[in-house]
Amino acid sequence: MKHKSLFRLTLAGLSFAFLLGSCLRDECDTTRTFIRFDAIYKTPAECRVGIKAEAPRELRNPGKIYVFGQYLFINEKNEGIHVIDNQDASNPQNLAFWSIPGNVDIAIRGQYLYADQYVDLLTIDISDMQNPKEICRAEEAFQLFGFDPQLGYLVGYEQTEITENISCSDARFNRNWFIDGGDVLIMADVVNTAAETSGGNALAAAGIGGSYARFGLVDQYLYTIDNSTLSTWTVASG
């Protein structure tokens, strides 16, 4: 009888432990917020649409600022450049917006503006502020994230915030990042922490870029930096 009672007690204890473990597993979950990064591709034709002067627009997502004479040139990230007349510093005038899709950096010497457009380097005559003209294009001057023969250049990633409940049995439970169906997902806290806190032969005047500028003019040379390469270009002197 004692053996049977002990067996029953042991069996009951194991059953209780199993049920308790099952309950704990069922209740083990958490809510996590991820940032999904969807790849953005552009065909070569989409990357080479040139420059177009448009009516002034408001700053929505401003990037780097460049000072040249009485003018301020403010980048609208990956869209183009705001042209501001700052002759009266107390009342700056928004003159125009130059649409240059894929633009991040610029430099100016004399009447020429140098601008990136995705993978290319443009030389633009800005002697007429209302009618800038592309006069030269150096193709594939910059390396971005790669090229797919079917899709084109990988020019960036679109971020989408996703919040969901995750069980402790899910492989993603204790991971800060993972790949799901070809998309990269990273914990929002990690993304936010890593965010950005980049004589007759006399040379014409050059402008001044900010501390994160990737274009720099020295004498007759333009220095540019992409993700991994420092390049040198000879530029016009007038």
pLDDT value at position 179? 62
Q: Looking at the predicted structure, is the pLDDT value of residue 84 above 90?
A: yes
Percent with pLDDT over 90 in the chain = 43
pLDDT band at 7 (very low <50, low <70, confident <90, very high): very low
Extents of the domains making up the chain: 39-147+196-234
Give the torsion sign (CA, 147, 151, 153, 157): negative
pLDDT tens digits for range 98-136: 999 999 999 999 999 999 999 999 999 999 999 999 999
> Among 10-24, 85-99, 125-139, which is the least confidently predicted range?
10-24
Q: How far apart are the first and last CA of the chain?
A: 108
pLDDT value at position 184? 59
Strand order in the sheet with 177-180: 147-148, 152-167, 29-42, 183-187, 177-180
User: Residue 175 corresponds to which amino acid?
Assistant: R
Looking at per-residue pLDDT, the higher value among 188 and 41 belongs to 41
**From the centroid of its chain, how far is CA 129?**
28
Q: Looking at the predicted structure, is the pLDDT value of residue 197 above 60?
A: no
User: What is the rounded average pLDDT for all residues in the chain?
Assistant: 78
Question: Across-strand partners of 120?
Answer: 117
Q: Looking at the predicted structure, is the pLDDT value of residue 9 above 50?
A: no
User: Residue 122 corresponds to which amino acid?
Assistant: L
Q: Looking at the predicted structure, is the pLDDT value of residue 137 above 70?
A: yes
pLDDT value at position 174? 66
